[in-house]
Structure 1
Amino acid sequence: MSRLYTLFSWLAFVAFIPCFIRAHIIEVSAGRKDCYFEDLHVNDKMTVTYQVGEGGHLDIDFWLQDPTGTLLGKHIKQSTGQIAITADKDGRHEYCFSNQMSAIADKMVSFNVHGVIYVAGDDVVAPVEREIRKLAAGLTGVKDEQEYIVVREKMHRNTAESTNSRVKWWSILQAIVLFSVVGWQVFYLKSFFEVKRVI
């Protein structure tokens, strides 16, 4: 039993070595773009997922290109998206978030970068290791969905608080107008019934 546990622990450790996962939340200022880089080798896999959480119409431009500048994927004015690639060249791959279409609104963007480093002979792995890798990929997907839900919940909470504040101030304004109208009517009716003496 102890040997089986040790073997399973070792396989789990080996399965997670090739994976790199990073989550970031950035603010892309109006009229600017933010770019990031990943050094990949041939057959390495990389997936970038993103979600705009705040700002403007909740949209942003996103693209990913290889070391020669060839565009591997591009999204225009999207609130959420994903681009997955398998590198066919060694070198620094660049991905950018652009808010250049906006003149005043800053954008908050949450994004994740997932990757699998290619290892020669990877196609002849043990069935247990293959299942562990599938499980790791599934957990990554669940993590992405959870972060997406957190961002959406924050957006909905901000909308609800903004609506609540507007309703409160509208109610106060209505009360002020109502009392002003009532006061004016009382004053007007009172002056209407006053007897004016002529001396």
Structure 2
Amino acid sequence: MKLLTVLTSLLLGVLSHAATLTVQLNANEHQCFYGQVEQPNSRIGFFYQVLKGGEFDVDYTIKDPEGKIVNSGDKLKHLDLITTAKVAGDYEFCLSNDMSTFADKFIEFEIQIESSFKAELPDTKYNPDTEIIEHSLSSLEVKVSQITRSLQYYKTRNFRNENTVSSTSTRVFWFSLFELLLMVGMSVVQVVIVHQFFKGARSTLV
């Protein structure tokens, strides 16, 4: 029973809430999203990847409740960032497509905010099983996070490959159509030239 109580306390030791969204960022557009941090020194995770559009890159900026820039980057295809929120309040996460003049971008992103607190454990003697369970839970959390990120990476890679194949197929179609029209045009020109040549030769003989 004591072991079950300790296990429950460890599982509740970290509270987190996250939201995964997919948005369209038009050319020269700037969009911002907000996440509320309830306690100082909470961990903030910001992940995004460009699924489609242009060179698959956007700019990002993270600001704290006081308007100070916590982190920023230019022309990144994907980002997996974890930082610490020093103050509580609403944090601003902005994505910018200002560098693009015509290409729209489709972006999948996730904002994760974790709040840690110390659980009140019952007064018990030292139990080595508690330390083993805590270590196992921490290791499990890291591995699950790595698997999730890997799945998201392969999903994005597959989406980009499909987009590249679709774009290439469209270009091949239009190039083939242009080549066909060019061949038909050249054939018509050749027929006209030959017709004019024989017509001129017949007039000379007469």
Matched with 2:150 is 145
The correspondence for 2:19, drawn from 22, 37, 44, is 22
Helix, strand or coil for the counterpart of 2:116? coil
- Are residues 147 and 127 of structure 1, via their aligned partners in 2, closer, same or farther at CA, if it must alter by over 3 Å? same
Matches within 5 A, 1:1-199: 7=4, 11=8, 14=11, 18-40=15-37, 41-120=39-118, 126-193=131-198, 195-196=202-203, 198=206
Contact 1:16/1:136 (8 A) holds in 2: no
- Are residues 76 and 121 of structure 1, via their aligned partners in 2, closer, same or farther at CA, if it must alter by over 3 Å? same
CA distance in 2, matches of 1:156, 1:169: 20
Could you list the per-position Cα deviations for residues 120-162 of structure 1 after superposition, in whole angstroms to 9, with x for gaps in the alignment? 269x964313322331232122212212221222222112111
Contact 1:75/1:81 (8 A) holds in 2: no
- Are residues 36 and 183 of structure 1, via their aligned partners in 2, closer, same or farther at CA, if it must alter by over 3 Å? closer
1:42 maps to a residue whose letter is P
Helix, strand or coil for the counterpart of 1:58? coil
Contact 1:15/1:133 (8 A) holds in 2: no
Q: Which moved more, 1:90-99 or 1:126-135?
A: 126-135
Structure 1 segments (4+ residues) deviating >6 Å: none
Percent of residue pairs bearing the same amino acid type? 23
1:167 maps to a residue whose letter is V
- Are residues 153 and 113 of structure 1, via their aligned partners in 2, closer, same or farther at CA, if it must alter by over 3 Å? same
For structure 2, the residue ranges without an aligned partner over 5 or more in a row are: 121-125
Provide the alpha-carbon RMSD of the alignment. 3.1
- Size of the alignment, in residue pairs? 192
CA distance in 1, matches of 2:47, 2:188: 60
- Are residues 189 and 98 of structure 1, via their aligned partners in 2, closer, same or farther at CA, if it must alter by over 3 Å? closer
CA distance in 1, matches of 2:179, 2:101: 35
CA distance in 1, matches of 2:30, 2:183: 50
Q: Which moved more, 1:184-193 or 1:37-46?
A: 184-193
Helix, strand or coil for the counterpart of 2:21? strand
CA distance in 1, matches of 2:137, 2:34: 28
TM-score (norm 1): 0.79
CA distance in 2, matches of 1:121, 1:179: 80
- Are residues 165 and 32 of structure 1, via their aligned partners in 2, closer, same or farther at CA, if it must alter by over 3 Å? closer
Q: Which moved more, 1:72-81 or 1:128-137?
A: 128-137
